[in-house]
Amino acid sequence: MKISLEGKSALVGGSSKGIGEAIARQLADSGACVTLMARNKPRMEVVIQELDTSLGQKHQYLVVDFSNFESFKETISSFIQANPIDILVNNTQGPVAGGALEKNVEDYQQAFDLLFKSVVYTTTLALEQMQRHQWGRIINVASISVKEPLNYLALSNSIRAAVVTWAKSLAFDVAKDGITVNNVLTGYFDTDRIAQLNAKKAEKLGVMPSEVRANMEDQVPAKRIGNPQEFGFLATFLASEKAAYINGTNIPIDGGLLKSL
């Protein structure tokens, strides 16, 4: 099966590294014009030079800070007014780790702004164009923790669950316009985020990070942590015409880690 996104424009959040970068690279490999969106300008300048341009694609980047909603709101509004968006990948950095008893109301508000308000605002703006064109793809990078919460990620568990239920409601409303909305539930992937979480957990337990990683790998039926490129393949399929009848879903990509149906 050949996937072609030639003529499509994609905006990919958190795409200076990790899963976001992998998605951006695969979308470009499939012919899309990609806009990277993250706060790490030097890293995006490197990535942008490496994206596929064999089909004449024009790639660009947008510097944003997802943790500063008012600043983000201004930047993204100006960008979407001036640029077409056919494919929107909502992906941000994760909030600070910690259990429910370690967090206060202000922590939840900050996480809400980071994970929910930025997603809803960006999607609302992009939808105006998608509805006019009667075509669009919205892909939310979520987590398996919305189905089976991880007790050390209370903020992420809570707010990402709000995102996926909001997306389900939205999917119903926009399907008639040729727009799909899907959530990808992320398992354990070889990213800086996982390394940081493992280091913090190792410090708390008094063990080496390598031991924490080995235990994580052992939990996964596939006995390994995912390669971000594998995530890019799934996101690119969902962004394509091949996935036109897949809408309002939560798709785990976790090597079989989730035990629930």
- Sequence spans of domains, the chain: 9-187+228-245, 190-225
pLDDT score of 94: 87
121 is catalytic: no
CA-closest candidate to residue 111, choices 72, 155, 166? 155
Cβ atoms of residues 111 and 117 within 8 Å: no
Residues 139-165 have pLDDT tens digits of 999 999 999 998 989 999 999 999 999
What is the CATH code for 9-187+228-245? 3.40.50.720
The pLDDT of 28-37, averaged and rounded, is 98
**H or E element in which residue 33 lies:** strand 33-38
The pLDDT of 226-248, averaged and rounded, is 98
Catalytic hit among 121, 152, 188, 245: 152
Q: How far apart are the C-alpha atoms of 110 and 112, rounded to whole Å?
A: 5
**What sign results for the dihedral spanned by CA atoms 72, 73, 76, 79?**
negative
pLDDT score of 196: 87
Residue 142's Cα: distance from chain center in Å? 6
Residue entry with tokens 């943790």: 67
Cβ atoms of residues 51 and 16 within 8 Å: no
pTM, to two decimals: 0.95
In this prediction, what percent of the chain has a pLDDT beyond 90?
90
